[in-house]
Structures are given as C-alpha cells and as structure tokens.
Structure 1
Amino acid sequence: MFLRRNSSPLVTLGLISVFCTSLPSLVKASSVVEVNCRSMNTSSMHAHCGVYPDGVHDLDCFGKHKTYGSVKQWQCKWAPGSHTSNKTYTLIIQQPSKNRCVMYDNISRTSHSKFTVSEKKNMTAYVVEKSDLRNCTKAFFTALPNNTVRCGPPVYVSFSRHSRKLEVTVSWPQVDQRFINKYNLMYKASDSLSRDNVVVQSRDKARCTVDGLNSSLAYQVQIQCDNNSCPQCPWSDSYTVQPELTAQPVVLNVEDTDVAQRKGCRLVVITWKFPEEEQAEGYNVTVEKASGEVPDEWMTTTRPQISLVLSYSGYHVSIRAFNRASTSPALTQTVPPREDMADTGAGKLNVSLINATSLTVFWKDDLIQHYCCFSVEWSRTNHKAAYMSFFENANNYKSISLKNGPLEPYQRYSISLHTRTNKETCNMMHTNGSESTYGSAQFYFIEGSPVSAPANISACNVTLNSMVLQWLPIPEEDLRGFLMGYIIHYTEYHHRETEKNVTVSPDSNSHELVDLKSGTAFLVEISAFTRAGVGVRSTASLFKTNSQGDHTLVGIIIGFTVVTALLILICPLLKRAKVVIWPSIPNPRNSNAMQKIEVPFELELLELTTQKSEEWDTESLHIVERAPESTRADSAPPIMPYVFRDTEADENSESELLQPDEPFDWTETDINSVAGLLPGVTVATFVEPIRQDFPCAPLPFPSGYTTMEMFQQGMSHSISEDTTAAAPAAALQPEDTDVTVKTPGLDYTRQFSSESNNGSVFLVK
C-alpha cells in the first residue's frame, strides 16, 4: 500500500485504525507475536477476565545474567488453571513511566523469555489464560526489574552419606557461577514434621558437609545461593536424601557348575541377602581376577543374585548395595581356582624349567588354529598368582620370564594356560565370559626329601595274624617334592635285627599287614619318599597281635554280654506276656466274697447258719447235735451231725466238713467237753429232719466257687421249695435254744470259713 504525500491526515489515521482492529486476527495466525500495545486499550480488552484461585496463578518475572556483557535476559513463569487442557496465554509487559507496552499472544507454554525491559523503571506484567472467547482468567506481577535479577537454583545436586555424614555436591548454571561464592543448605528429618529446619553454609560454591546425622533416617534438603551474590536466590525444590546403608550383604549360596557348551569354563551363581533390602535400589557387583589382571568389570543388578561364566582361575567378587545417597560396605566373596580337573589334567600342559627366572610352557593340542591370544598364570601354593598375556600364532609353546621374582627350591608351583576369543588385543576385555582354561600343571624348581613323617599312627582290626595300620599324611610344605609313596618299617619287638619293609602308594593312608605271628608285639615306623629320596621316619609305635587265649576270652566275654543283654530284654517281655496271657487269679480262700461249695449237704448246713436268735453273739460257737432216735420220726432218715475238723496236712487249708458217710462217734461226753471248754457254747439238737432229701441246687454253679449273692439266691430257692419240712423242724426245736431261721433277704451272710485255732471250729457271722 502506498500513500500520496498530499493525502489528507484523516485518511492516514483511518488506515492505522483499520490495521489495529485487524491485529488480533494477525496475532492468532502466528505462534508468538510481539505487538506494541501502547495504542491499544488492553485493559478494556481483558476486563471481563477475572482473578480466581483455580485460574492462572503464581506469575513470576525475573532477570538472568547473560554469558557475555552486562545485558540481562528476562523471563516470566506462571502456573496454569484447572479449567480445561486446551489453553492459550497472552503475556502483557507494561512500563508506564517509559510509555512502553508489549503483548505476546497465543503462547502455549507456561513461560516466556527473550524480552527486554528497562532495569530501573517499574514493570507491570499480567498473563491471561483463555480457554474460549468468553472464559478467561488472569494474574498480575509488579516489581522493579533491577531487583528481580536471580541466581540459581542449581542445575545438578548429588548426595553421599557415610559415617553419619552427608556430603552435597552442587552444580550451578553457567551464567551464575561467577556470581555465586557460597550457598546455604537447609535440612530436616523426614519423619519429624514438627522439627525446625537446620541451615548450614558451605565453604565453597560446590561442596558442603553436614555432620551428626542419624544414619537410619531420611532427610529433606533444600539449597539456596548466598544472598550477597545475587539480589534473588530462591530455595530450590526439596530433595529427599535416603537413609545411609550401614549393613553388609550376606552370601546365602555359591554354586559352581560346569558349562557343557564350553570346556574349561564354569558357571558361578552367587546368591546373597541384604538386611536393609527395602532401602536399597540395586547392587553393584565387581568381578576381578585374583591375580590382579585388569580390568575390573562392574555390573549392576536389582536382584540379589548374579550369574558369571568364569575360567578355572581364582576370582574376587565384591557386592555393594546402593541407593541415591549411599553405598553399603562391600561383601567380598572369593571364588577359588579349580585344580586337578579332568579336562585340564596332566599331559595337556608341560613345563620345562630353564633357570630360576624363566621357563617354557608346552601345550599338547594345536591351539593356534582356533586361538591366538593366551594368558599364563603361575603361583606358589596359597600365594597370589602372577600372570602374563601374549600373542602366539606359530608355535605350541611359549617361553616366559617370571615377573614376581625367581623360583624358590622345595616349593610347589601351579601354572595354568587360558585361551581368549578376542583377537583384537590379547588383554582381557571383560572378566565375565572372556576366557576358558585349557590346562594346568604343577612343578618344583628343585625337589627335596620330606622333612617330617606321617603322624597319628594307629592299628585297628587286629587279629591273630594281621592288623590294619592308619596314619595322617605329611603336610605339603614338609614334602618338598612330589610324594611318590610311603614305606612301612616293622619288626618283632624281641627280634629287632630282622626288619621288614612294605611300600604303599601315595594315595593311600592305610595298609593291612598280614602273615604276622599271633601274640607278638611289633615295632612300626612309617616314612615318605619323593624323587629326591626317603624322608625321616615316624616315632616307633608298638602294636601286638591277638593270641589264641585272647580269642577264647574275648569269645567268653562276648557270649556273656550277649546272654546278659538277652536276659535284660526278655525278662520284662515274659512278665508282660504272663500278665496278658495268664492273668493273676486271687485265692478264693483268702476272699470274704467267695465260698467253696462241694456237695449238696453243705447247703443244709448253710441254711442252719442263716438262722439266728434275737441276740446273736459272734463270739459263740453253735454245735449241732443229732437228736436221739426215739424222738425222730420213723420215716425220716437219720441226720448225721455236721462238724468241722482241722486238717493236719496243711495248716492254712480250709477246714473240712465231716460227711455223713464218714464214721464218727459223737457222744454226749464229747459234746459236753466241747461246751465246757468254750464258754457261751450252745448245743442244739434237731429232733426232726430238716429235709427229706437233698435235691440239686436249682441254680447250677459254673465252677467250684461262687459269690455270696449267688449263694443266697440258691438258699432262698431251696428254702421256698421245702417249707413243709422246715416248719416241723422249727416246731420241734426246744424253746430254750437260741437258734432262729434267717431269711435270705433280711441280712447278708459273711464268709463262712474255718480257721485252725487249737483244734477249734467256729461259725462266724
């Protein structure tokens, strides 16, 4: 558009008005456009936008130093509202004293930089958040630009904890480094919200150390540059410093197995446990060869287990737990070298000694067809190994100059040859899976004879003509050479002029001497020998073979012991078997609940014992006398008196009843004599027969013994059957007799027994 010089000023003003009216549409079409808003009424444009807590907020404007020159770079930041996610922003910078107004529209981020202001004039800025044409919010900021120049916060912070200390390392932005000399560190324990913050100042701008912390607690840390360096030094965001790891991992298991696909390699699996597992983020594992050959391979794992493919050399494995603030003490696990393996045994590797400082190693197979990089390790027993790696593609041998000093005499050395697949360089690139062991061998520079003898010589399995000798091997440091075997020197104690020798293989620590004399003592000495000769003999030990008498005595003792043991074991078993099979039955004669009844005639006598008078005296004796024949009925059979007599055969046996068929002359004189001897004795005479006959008891007894209850039942039944016969007997009884008939149901009858007491007989109730 071109204007003529003579155009009216009104036309020119109209064109400017049209351009300002179309400005918002032009701004929206671009990403961020800087527009001079001095001629625009921006207050009326955003008057309908309010200030709300959930709208745009926390507008902050500040200046930053530039790398070169004194001109500063200004920047504004704000926080978005929570209305919607599709938002755009408009930033307006005003300096009324300078009559300056700049507007940046259609901003999609929450910050804007690269604008200039006058440092010594007040600045007013506000940002408008628009989600559509009707909904918008805004936020304001006012300050003197020269006072808003800011340093920090740091761009990188690292923490390290150990020994109850916290070491902080800080990196500042490059433009702020020349203005910052020191910084402040504010911290407090994470588990104590009420504890006041502690502020310490660093000695320089990069490092700070805090002492006296609790190792088991986490801390919250903030960092601020020194206020004397910059007008503004805000505190950084809060950093969480994790607790210090003070425990050490503990090895649970180490597995060492062969790798089938690769000869000369083994799979080592190490499993461990960390007591502070919840505070650890992972584990650092370092694997290095025991010989010290570099490199030390570092590996990181989050699981408490690691698998390694290693050669047959010795290794050191170091394990540490770590988090962002600390590292635990190291656990060092030694993986010992393998020796005398079948796939690396004798014959595959040979050693030729040149002198004390050099040797030549020969290998059996043509390895140069597949490998050109090798490594040799050699060492004394229980000493650190020396190593040398080399390149070889022409010969199957290598001459080696020893690094760790000359070879010592009488000392055993081990040497191993390892192959490496890496052809770029023969140095080991990785410890894990980098090499395999081809073969190993042992050698002496100079051999000597043993300086000690086998110890702890003993004899076992001694017989009439043989014994087995046992001993402990000689320590390796006393052999001074390769053990070739043992020599057993033995002789009879009383004929020492004739000594016999037996050679034993070096792998055996026992030997049986045979064809010995029985009952003879032998002196035994044992020595070892190497290629250099026979060593010293052991102290003489005395052993004796068994004699024939000793054999007999031993047999007697063994037999007696066996019999005694059998008796001890069998007697309790027999007693228990007797209790189970033949239980102990009590003697009925000693029981007051059992009575022996042999014949039916005794039932009648028991019936008489059930009769009692009104005043029964347990101390009286009643003798039943047979009435004269003239007073008895002619039809009644004669009633024989029932008396007791003492059996002289057994003083503890039960008294017997005189049966009717036994002749006994019972006279009145005898009766009176008995009554006279015992005061209170009543003589009763039955004039009538109690019963005509003696039928069998209606309740048969299964055996010769019965209880009183069964006896009373039998009595009751027998009395009820013959009441007619019992009544005349009671009627004919004299009135002055003290005998009554006892019914079975009224009282119980105690044991009716007899005791031998001066030939007397008692019926006791």
Structure 2
Amino acid sequence: MEIVKLVTHNTTLNGRDTIHHWSWTSDMPLECATHYVGIRCYIDDPQFSGRKEWSDWSPLKNISWSPDSQTKVFPQDRVLLVGSDITVCCVTQEEVLSAQIGSTYCPLIHLDGKNVAIKIRNISASESSGTNVVFSVEDNMFGTVIFAGYPPDIPQKLNCETYDLKEIICTWNPGRPTFLVGPRNTSYTLFESFSGKYVRFKRVELPTNESYQLFFQMLPNQEIYNFTLNARNPLGQSESTLLVNITEKVHPHIPTSIKVKDISSTAVTLSWHLPGSFAKIKLLCQIEINKTNSVHELRNVTMKGIENSSYLAAVDKLNPYTIYTFRIRCCTDPFWKWSKWSNEKQYLTTEAIPSKGPDTWREWSSDGKNLIIYWKPLPINEANGKILSYNVSCSSDEETQSLSEIPDPQHKAEIQLDKSDYIISVVAKNSVGSSPPSKIASMEIPNDDLKIEQAVGMGNGILLTWNYDPNVTCDYVIKWCNSSRSEPCLMDWKKVPSNSTETVIESDQFRPGVRYNFFVYGCRNQGYQLLRSIIGYVEELAPVVAPNFTVEDTSADSILVKWEEIPVEELRGFLRGYLFYFEKGERDTSKMRVLESGRSDIKVKNITDISQKTLRIADLQGKTSYHLVLRAYTDGGMGPEKSMFVVTKENSVALIIAILIPVAVAVIVGVVTSILCYRKREWIKETFYPDIPNPENCKALQFQKSVCEGNSALKTLEMNPCTPNNVEVLETRSTVPKIEDTEIISPVAERPEDNTDVQPENHVVVSYCPPVIEEEIVNPGADEAGGASQVIYIDIQSMYQPQAKPEEEPKNDPAAGTGYKPQMHLLVTSTVEDLATDDLDKSAGYRPQANVNTWNLVSPDSPRSTDSNSEIVSFGSPCSINSRQFLIPPKDEDSPKSNGGGWSFTNFFQNKPND
C-alpha cells in the first residue's frame, strides 16, 4: 500500500453532530486500483488546556469502483487543460503489450494483476477530434480519447448596433481559440440587465478568430441597453459588458430601388428605398454623380427619417443631353457609419438648344476660286443634344446667300466666291433648336512683315508663344498641317483666348520626325491676320537617307563635289549641317570603318552652312584614289552615309615641269660648258691635245748624205742662224704626267704651301732642232751622233742626278768628255756656272750660240728650290739638239707671268693671254 495523498482539512466544531465533506480527485482512476481512506483529528484550540496530539487513524475505508465490463481504459473522454498531467490505466485480464498516446509510446506502470497504467505529462492541445490513447494486447486494442484545450477567452471588440432600429446586432471576437469543439465548444449568452432578457449563441464548428454575432430584438421605447456577454466551456468561463444608446449606433442598410425622373434638361429627381424605421432620427444621404470623361461629383442631402422607408431628392445643375451615373449611400445624424453604396443608376438628360456655334475655319482652294468652310463637331456640353444638320450662309454688304442644310456628320462646305470680303456664318441644329451663328471673314488681313520660324516640341506636343497684341479682339487661332501635304494645308486648328500669349499644341496625329507647319492668326472684327509662321517637329530624329552627291569636277589636286537636298519627309528634323569624310583608299580596301573615331588619316569637314551644296576638296595628290563619304545630321542624330570612290587626274603640269627642269638644267649646263670650252679652247687643246712637232719639218736634222753615210772626216757642226719655229708653251699643273715647256724642275723642288705630299712628276722636254748647216768638222762623236732627224724627248729627272757635295764636285770634270753632250747635267749654282763655262770653252766640241748668263733663270717657268742654296734652272723653251739657244724669244717683262706649274679648277675660269 502506498500513500498517494495526505491532506489537512480545517473545520470548526459547533458541539453538535455535523457531517463534514471533503472531495479529492485521484490521479489514478478509481477503476484502476483500490483506494483506501483514513481520517485522524487534532484539536487546535488555544483555550483547550489538555494535551494536544493527533488521534489514531480510523479504520481504512475501502473505496472500490466496479468497472463496466465493456470499458477497459480509464478515464474515458476526459477534457483537460493544456499542460496538465494525467494517468491512464487499462483494466484487463490479458497481458498488455504496449501503450501509446498519439504516435508516442509510453512506459507501462504495472498495477494489480494484469492491470497497467501510463503517466502523461504536460499534454499539448488536441486536434479537433481529440488525442487517442491506445493499449495493445495480443489480439485486441483498447483505448480512450483525451481533449486538451483552453478555457474561453474574454470576448473582444464587443459592439452592438442596429441597421433599422428594429433589431440590435452585437458582434465580438472570441479571442484565443480553445481547441475544443462539439459538445465541449464554448457557448455564449448575451444578457441585457435593464430588461432581464437574454439570448444564447452556440457554434458546433471549430471556432476561429472570426467575428461572432447575436441578434437582440429592440424593446419599445428603450434606447439605452446594458449588455453582458458570458462565454463558457468545460474548462472555464469569461464575460464582457457594453452600455450603448442604440439611436446613436445606427448603420443603415444599402439603399435600393433607385429611380430617376426628369424635371428639366438640367435637373432630375432621385428616389430610393431605405429599409428601417427612422422616424425619430435624421438621415444624411450622399449622391455621387458621374459623367463620361469627368471627375465624379458628390452632393450631400439631409432629410428627416420616415416610417415607410421611401426617400426623394432633387439633383440640378446638370448638362442637357448628357449621360449621368448616380449612386447613393446614407447615414444617421449624428454620424456613426455610412451604409454601403447602392448600385449605379445611369440616366440621359433631355436635349436643349445648342449653347454655342461650331468652331469654324476657312481655306481657299488651290485655284483660288472656291472658299472651303470647315467646322468642328460641337462637344456634348455645348451641343445639348444630337446635332441633325448645319446651315451655312455668306453675306456681304449687298446680299446674303444661304446654302442648303448640310447633314451631320459632314463638317465641310465649299462656296464659289470672288475675292470680295464676305462674312461666313455656320449654325448647328438639333431637335430643340439652332445654335448661335459662328462667323468668320472670307479674306485674311495682309501682313507683309512675316518671317518663317522654327520650333521643336516636347515629344507629344509643341509649345508656341507670341507677343501680346492689343489689336486682337476676338481670339487667336493656331492652324497646323503636315508640311508634305498639298494645298489647302489644314490638319486641325485651335482657338485660344485673346489674352493668351502661349499654348501647347497636342494631337494624337503628331508623329516624331514629321515636319508640321504652324500658323498663328489674330482675330480683328471676325477677320484674321497671320501673325507668325512656324515650321517645327514635336520630336526630331536622325535622317533616314544620305544626301545624293556627285563629283562635278576632278583635277590633279582637287575634287569638286555637289549634292542634292534631302526631302523633308526623309530629313525628319531641322538640317544642321553635313559631315564630309575623305581618305585615301581603293574600293574594297578602304579602312574607313568608324568615322567618328578621330583617326588622323581620315579628314573631316563640317559644313554648317546648310545652303551650301558644293564643296571643293583641295591639296590632294594626283592620280590617287580617294574614298568620299557624306552624311547629314540634325539635332536628332546623324544620318546614314553615302560613299563614293574617286581617282584624281594625273598632274600634267608637274609632269611637264619634272621633264623640263632636267632638260633645262642639262641645256644650261651644256651651254655654259660650251661657252667655257670655247673660251678656253686653246688651253684645253694644249692641256689635253698638245701639238707634237713633226721631226720631218726640223731642218736641224737634215744632214748631208756623207754625214748619214758616216763620213769619218766629219767635223764639228758649225751653227748658222736659222729662223726658229714659233712654239707656244703653256704651263699647267697636274698630278698626272703631261707634256710641258722646256722647264727643268729640280728633284728638290719647292713643296706646296699646304705641306701636302706631292709625288714626283716625270717632265718631258721637247727639244726642237733648227736646220743644220753642213760643215766638215771633225767630231769624234760623229759616229754616235749620226742618224736620222728626230725630236729627242729627254726625261727631266734623268738630267738631274743627285748632286754631289761641294768637296766631291772636282771629281766630276765636265770637260773630261769631248764632243757635244746635249743631255748633260747642268749645275745651277753660280760657282758651277762659272766652272761649266770655263770647261765648255776649253772643250773642242759644240759651244752655245748665246750667252747663257742672259737666260732668265727666275722666270715664272723656272721655279726656284727653297730647300737648297742653289737655283735650279728650267728651260722654258725648246732648244736645238746641238745648242742651248732658245727657239722662242725671251718674254717681255710686261707680258703676264704664269702662276706656276700645273692647273686647277679656278684656272679653268681664268682667261689666258692671247685668248
């Protein structure tokens, strides 16, 4: 036996036999185990002086419960608060194998016999069908259902109102769900304390957070109600109270049965039905008025409530022949809640006389013979009905001419008029009557000071402005048309008040990239004067085509290009200029790909003068292919390109110049050379082609036959005077061997001043022999000297052998030899000259025929040596082979002197004597 509960119960003894009660619910169902109860007491009285102690326990009382033979699991269908603990047992004669709550298995607690129990702690909220607890035996299953939930929450947002002052409707929100349904669901009772009446509410389905409502019938002559709402379920109860004046809580029903009745073309009567008895209160009803293309209008109507629920209201200030849509809602005064809007009611008001004449304009036909009158349909608010026809008339000071009626929808008439001034009138008619006439003059007021301007719009419209003109008394008319259309140019027109200075022209017909003509007219006494003429675009786009261009002229260094204007339809904006690109390149090989890339090899010309239609490209190369590209642009962008390949002509002038310049230079050089050669012909001849004396003409070599035959008795030749041949000797300087005068140059010659190395020159002396007079002179050297007449060429270097030192000179005796020695070495120093003279005098051979001392040793043809003390004599003239007599007379002192041996380029341009 186990003690499961020990409780102290306090009570008061009154001296009489009294039955005391104490209740207790066991955690273990009584059906599952035998329970025993024992009692003991203790007197706790301060006035009791005896011994205070517990009495003995009473005999235990067996509390047994006989379970139903059909029921095996206890307790059955218990309702618990969420989070509670419970013990469930199974009474059976069979062995229980397992137990589970929901899908969770629980450990078994074994009781007496085969009985078992399970302990469930902190149970969670059940589903709508409850939570199942199942015990399994070998061949069967036993179980029960547990319902875990919450007691009812306090009703929230309790509100009571009436729709018709006949029945009160109370609504509330149940609050937190209880998770108990069916018989365990929450029941609500609405109790009114003043009358003592109540109503009950009970739901079977699962409660949610939706609003609940109860209907309470109003009591006669009672306006104030005190309501208490009580909520109850097996786990507990709650309540909420509300005190309300029901006349201030009226929420009317939706108005129904709306009807409209005409009062006039501008006023109607509305009637509707509003369920309820509102005789004791006032109503405020709101009428919504809608018409096509207009903002809805609200009008409030206050009226006294009535018993029969039918109400009327008049609506005025309407437009004739206009479709209106009406709807109504109502509330009480003071305001509590609007009723819902009624269904819409549509109605067409009756017709009236048109309030205005048609908007009229006129244009002359292209031939100027007919006047075309245009007018626009009257808007609904001005037509006041269906327009049936139009009456057009024209009048002058003399007569009035009326045309037949023109039926609607025709809005144009044509009248044949002269150029006189007429007043045109147009009247619109409907079933009620005619409109006031619209008048316009047939002729325009001339304006000589008119300029065409440009304007660009804002995408779907264009802003036009003008200066205020006090002379404009009627209004302004702005007319526009597509510039590509033929005359008469009219697409639409618009009238603006005379005090305006600007307007925005918008039209669904406007398209981007299309040019329109706008004309601003001012009205003066029904006559119009053109004030401004404007061409414009609502939006500019790039041109769709490139300008067509051709090459008008091509030269060797330029190309003349001419292009045509782009049609207005394809220009799509105001032309701002042309971009002309050109570069060198053959067809299919041009590298012009991105024109705006800024490459240096592409030349660009921006032509901003749009009136220019030609361009000459200069500074080009002849016979060269060029790639030409032309593009037009507007503010809307750059148009496509048009390209062409052009080859420039060959530059004939340059070719001629290129040919003539070398020829001219060659001719000039040839002429100058010829002149110089002609002037220097003798010098050139002597330099390059000198005259060689013919030995056959030399008489000095004409010997006697006996001489030629080698006469042994030949004696020394006796010289007789002879006439020498004139020989001109020219002195030149050259680095190559050449024939010179009879100048003998010393090997130790004076070096040039610039100290440059000079190679020794081989000079050849031409000796010319005079005629020889035969004389028998015994000459031992005759055998050696015999021979044919000839010119003997003597190498000058062979004449100048290295000179001996002074002390060695006596060893070489010039007189040691006999006979004539023409190639002997001549000593030039004064001592040698004296010695040579003495030796020659002593010789038995040839003697010179002139005084050697008289020779000019310092002639220009005989340069001195600067490297020795002796002077080297160079013979300046051919001499006889047998004498040293000059064949050319000595030069005068006044004759020009040579500048020295050899020649230079500067000497070529200097004149020589005897030229």
TM-score class normalised by the smaller sequence: under 0.3
Larger Rg: 2
Which TM-score applies when normalising by structure 1?
A: 0.26
Provide the TM-score with structure 2 as the length reference: 0.22
Relative contact order, higher structure (CA 8 A, sep 6+): 1
Higher helix share: 1
